[in-house]
């Protein structure tokens, strides 16, 4: 590039090279190249493209609240030159604002700008559906947005890889916005694999976070832990931190109070300083789950209320069931009913088992007699048709607790034992203990069971990461690629894992490592 005499050609090449460096996670090189492009650009379109790349660098470097405004400005400047690229940039601006839960009204400003765009020519593309659905979500509410977002979710199932790499991380929010857990897992898994195969290190951590949360909800904590390990390895290479969304929810689901409390506190501190307000919301959501599991409902209520204070479109909705449960348990029905209203607004337009199951479970907490009984049964039936094992187990627990309060001991025993066995098998220690205490209070004998195998405690964090990935079926070279280690280093660690766990083959890892690890 230094040999290119023509300044326009040099600027053009610098923009392309900066974009390639950005996608590979080399932000320092991307900055140097975009500096050259901005210095040498001779026409407005090239200057706008350079500004667009700089906006992406700003976002990737810290996921801070500067990027949404920069991307919005780039989108507006692109409109006279390339409307397709402008619409894509509007979507990225919206996604950046949503991901950092930017304060002020930037998400509303971006959404209104999207609504003011001229309609696309011909049949709407997947990106057009996502863009319009998200804008409607902010300006008109979920009921207006859901029909468009459902069409978008269908279109995204076959989205080309190049589109997934450019703006797929924003589209990840479509399926959870319409409470479609199956589409959520499938699209998240495909997007992560596409980004992983392409070596797109700037967007891969976002895909891993989305997939990790969805995986944790299914109760497959081992797979979720492997995703955490992969994300940490990428952060080490790129030097860019993303709030540890998966690690937060995984740790609290496991009931690891000391580890979770430290992680929650540090995340709230640094994510707040870095402007990653979604990270703050995520940490408070995690705290609410943790304290509900520990049956410390006053603390759960405070954390859940903190999580709803930041304007955000996903986690601040997911925390509402925690808020309702905690408020109901401390006897504050007014707070619980106030939280039920926005939860109903978010779930009623989405006729899925996930949405309706969670809503029924929360309504049951605030109901009495036959109505409560019917709602609990409906919640269990609906959630039982999903793969959200953690949510189903909690429905059994709440139903069992209610049945015990109604002196229906035999019925309570069935629900509580079901919940206890599920929590133990998944690895949800705090919730398992809560169910066990309820069984004892019901007059039942219950053998306390450990949800963790002590053998895994012998492994170092890196050994555990490697063992989990191997357990998922990855080869040594694939593990090395995920964790940025040489194949020989992976082999060395794996030999130590086999020795510590007293096993001789990769296949034995499935039994040697606890399911909840």
Nearest to 150 by CA among 106, 180, 182, 121: 180
Question: Is 110:93 a contact under the CB 8 Å cutoff?
Answer: yes
What pLDDT shows up at residue 29? 86
Backbone torsion region of residue 63, taken as left when φ is above 0, otherwise alpha when ψ lies between -120 and 50, otherwise beta: left
User: Which residue intervals of 294-332 are DSSP H helices?
Assistant: 297-307, 315-318, 320-330
Q: What is the mean pLDDT of residues 208-212?
A: 94
User: DSSP 3-state assignment of 178?
Assistant: coil
Q: To which H or E segment does residue 192 belong?
A: helix 181-198
What confidence score (pLDDT) does residue 308 get? Answer: 83
Q: How far apart are CA 49 and CA 12, in angstroms?
A: 9
Tens of pLDDT, residues 249-274: 999 999 999 999 999 999 999 887 77
Considering only CA atoms, which of 61, 66, 2 is closest in space to residue 31?
61
pLDDT at 454: 40
Least confident of 2-16, 36-50, 359-373: 2-16
Contact 64, 274 (CB under 8 A): yes
Count CB atoms within 10 A of the CB of residue 331.
Answer: 9
SS3 101: coil
Local confidence band at 170 (pLDDT 50, 70, 90 cut-offs): very high
pLDDT at 2 over 70: no
Angle at 414 between CA 413 and CA 419, to 5 degrees: 95
Q: How far apart (Å, rounded) are the C-alpha atoms in residues 267 and 279?
A: 7
As a whole number of angstroms, the distance between CA 341 and CA 160 comes to 38
Average pLDDT, the chain: 88
Query: Does pLDDT of 374 surpass 90?
Result: yes
What domains does the chain contain, in order, with CATH numbers? 7-173 (no CATH), 185-242 (no CATH), 262-441 (1.25.40.10), 454-512 (1.10.10.10)
For 48-72, write each residue's pLDDT tens digit: 888 888 887 887 776 567 888 889 9
E-assigned strand segments in 11-137: none
């Amino acid at each position: 590039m230094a040999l290119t005499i023509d300044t326009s050609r040099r600027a053009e090449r610098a923009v392309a090279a900066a974009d390639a460096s950005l996608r590979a996670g080399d932000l320092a090189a991307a900055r140097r190249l975009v500096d050259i492009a901005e210095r040498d650009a001779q026409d407005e379109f090239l200057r706008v493209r350079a500004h667009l790349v700089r906006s992406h660098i700003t976002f990737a470097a810290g996921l801070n609240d500067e990027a949404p405004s920069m991307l919005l400005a780039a989108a507006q400047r692109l409109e006279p030159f390339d409307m397709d690229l402008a619409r894509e940039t509007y979507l990225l601006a919206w996604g950046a604002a949503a991901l950092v839960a930017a304060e002020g009204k930037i998400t509303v400003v971006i959404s209104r700008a999207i609504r003011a765009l001229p309609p696309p020519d011909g049949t709407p593309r997947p990106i057009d559906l996502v863009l319009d659905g998200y804008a409607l979500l902010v300006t008109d509410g979920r009921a207006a947005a859901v029909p468009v977002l459902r069409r978008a979710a269908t279109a995204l199932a076959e989205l080309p890889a190049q589109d997934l790499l450019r703006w797929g991380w924003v589209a990840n929010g479509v399926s959870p916005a319409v409470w479609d857990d199956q589409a959520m897992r499938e699209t998240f898994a495909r997007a992560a694999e596409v980004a992983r195969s392409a070596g797109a290190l700037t967007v891969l951590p976002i895909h891993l976070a989305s997939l990790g949360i969805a995986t944790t909800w299914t109760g497959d904590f081992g797979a979720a832990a492997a995703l955490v390990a992969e994300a940490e390895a990428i952060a080490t290479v790129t030097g860019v931190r993303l709030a540890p969304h998966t690690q937060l929810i995984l740790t609290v689901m496991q009931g690891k109070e000391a580890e979770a409390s430290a992680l929650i506190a540090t995340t709230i501190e640094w994510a707040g300083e870095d402007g990653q307000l979604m990270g703050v919301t995520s940490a408070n959501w995690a705290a609410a789950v943790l304290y509900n599991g520990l049956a410390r409902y006053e603390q759960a209520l405070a954390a859940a209320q903190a999580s709803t204070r930041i304007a955000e479109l996903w986690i601040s909705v997911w925390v509402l069931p925690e808020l309702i449960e905690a408020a109901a348990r401390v006897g504050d029905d007014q707070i619980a009913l106030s939280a039920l209203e926005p939860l109903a607004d978010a779930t009623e337009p989405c006729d899925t088992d996930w949405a309706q199951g969670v809503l029924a479970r929360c309504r049951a907490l605030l109901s009495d007699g036959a109505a409560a009984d019917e709602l609990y049964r409906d919640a269990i039936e609906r959630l039982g048709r999903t793969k959200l094992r953690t949510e189903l187990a909690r429905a059994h627990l709440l139903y069992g607790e209610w049945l015990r309060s109604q002196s229906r001991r035999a019925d309570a025993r069935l629900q509580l034992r079901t919940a206890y066995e599920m929590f133990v098998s998944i690895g949800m220690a705090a919730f398992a203990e809560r169910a066990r205490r309820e069984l004892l209070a019901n007059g039942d004998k219950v053998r306390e069971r450990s949800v963790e195998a002590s053998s895994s405690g012998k492994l170092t964090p890196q050994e555990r990461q490697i063992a989990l990935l191997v357990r998922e079926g990855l080869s040594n070279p694939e593990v090395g690629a995920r964790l940025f280690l040489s194949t020989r280093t992976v082999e060395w660690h794996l030999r130590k894992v086999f020795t510590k766990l007293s096993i001789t083959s990769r296949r034995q890892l499935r039994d040697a490592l606890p399911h909840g690890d």
